[in-house]
Amino acid sequence: MIMYTDGLVERRERPFTDGIDLAVDVLSHASTALSTGEYIDALFEALIGDGHDNDDVAVVVVKNVA
């Protein structure tokens, strides 16, 4: 389960829904073997990159390893 604030997906130059679509694309192509931190890194790299919009960003990843 991955939860995030709108600061991750919404940017001044990118509508909210486009950011959600990008997040879904990143996660659907990610390996299920990634650690929780690697999921967060992949999302940050794809959705934020080097830029920052001065918006708060919070991401929580919960992974069942059983």
The tens digit of pLDDT for each residue in 8-50 reads: 999 888 899 999 999 999 999 999 899 999 999 999 999 998 7
CA-based nearest residue to 8, from 37, 39, 43: 43
Question: Strand 59-61 relative to strand 2-4: parallel, antiparallel, unpaired?
Answer: antiparallel
Classify residue 35 as exposed, middle or buried by CB count within 10 Å of its CB (0-12, 13-18, 19+). exposed
Amino acid at 24: V
> Which pLDDT belongs to residue 11?
87
pLDDT of 65 strictly over 80: no
pTM of this prediction?
0.86
Evaluate whether 2 touches 41 at the Cβ level (below 8 Å).
Answer: no
pLDDT greater than 80 at residue 59: yes
